[in-house]
Amino acid sequence: MKKLTANRNPIIVRLSRLLVFALFIWIAYSVCARFLTWLSTLEYQVAAAVVAACATILISTLSLIFSKQYEHMRDVRQQHNQKKIPVYEDLIHFMFKTLFAKKMGEEPPTEQDMLKFLSDFTPKLIVWGSQSVIKSYASFKDFSSKGAPDPQIVYLFEDVMFAIRKDLEHKDTTLQKGDLLRLFITDIDSNK
C-alpha cells in the first residue's frame, strides 16, 4: 500500500494546513467573543470570580504542559547522551593510545588497526555525533590524512575535544585554546 502523503502536492498540503489553522483561529475567536458577551451580562463580583477561576485553570494547564514538555526534552537529551558518551570515549581512548603508545612501551596502532577503528567508529559518529563534533572531526581527519607532521594537528584534535564537551553540555566558559592540551602535553605553549 502506497503512502498517500507521498503523492500529495506540497501546495495543497500547505493550503490545507493554513485552512485548518484559520478554522482554529475562527473557532477560538468565536468562543472568546461569546464568553466575553456572556461575562459582560454578569454582575461585577461574579465576573471577577469567573475570570480568576479561568486564569487559574489556564495558568495551571499551561505550566503543566510546559513542564511535561521540558521533562520530555530532558529525558531525550539524557538518552542521547547515554549513546553519545561511549562513542566519544572510544575516540578519545583511541587517540590517546595512538599518541602515547611509544611512551608506554607499546606499539602504536598499525594502519590496519586504524582502518578497523574508523570502520567501527564512523557509523556511530554519523548516528550519534552532533554537527560540531562531526565537522571538527572531519577537519582533524582531513588534516591528519595529509601525512606531513605538523604541530597544528594537536590543536585540531583539541577542537574535536571542545566540540565533544560542548555537545555533552559542559560549560567551558573559561577554557581557552590549549587548556585541554595542557592536560597531556607539557610543552604546549612552545608550539603556539
119 pLDDT higher than 60: yes
pLDDT(127) > 90:
yes
Amino acid at 98: T
Q: In sequence order, which ranges of the chain are alpha helices (DSSP H)? A: 10-41, 44-100, 111-128, 131-144, 152-167
The domain limits of the chain are 5-72, 76-191
Closest CA to 179 of 164, 158, 165: 158
Q: Tell me, what's the pLDDT at 1?
A: 45
pLDDT exceeds 60 at position 5? no
- Mean pLDDT for 80-106 is 88
What's the pLDDT band for 186 if we cut at 50, 70, 90? confident
Enter the pTM of the model: 0.66
Single out the residue of 99, 100, 145, 154 nearest to residue 118, CA to CA: 145
Counting residues of the chain whose pLDDT is more than 90, the rounded percentage is 39
How far from the centroid of its chain's Cα atoms is residue 179's Cα? 24
DSSP code of 99?
H
Q: What's the rounded Cα separation, in Å, for the pair 159 and 46?
A: 64
Task: At 145, list the grid cell.
Answer: 590524512
Q: d(Cα 161, Cα 3) in Å, to the nearest integer? A: 43
Burial of 157 from C-beta contacts in 10 A (0-12 / 13-18 / 19+): buried
pLDDT tens figures, 12-46: 888 889 999 999 999 989 988 888 888 888 888 88
Averaged pLDDT for residues 2-16:
72
CA 9 from centroid of its chain's CA atoms? 32
10: its cell numbers: 506540497
Handedness of CA 21, 27, 31, 34 (dihedral sign): positive
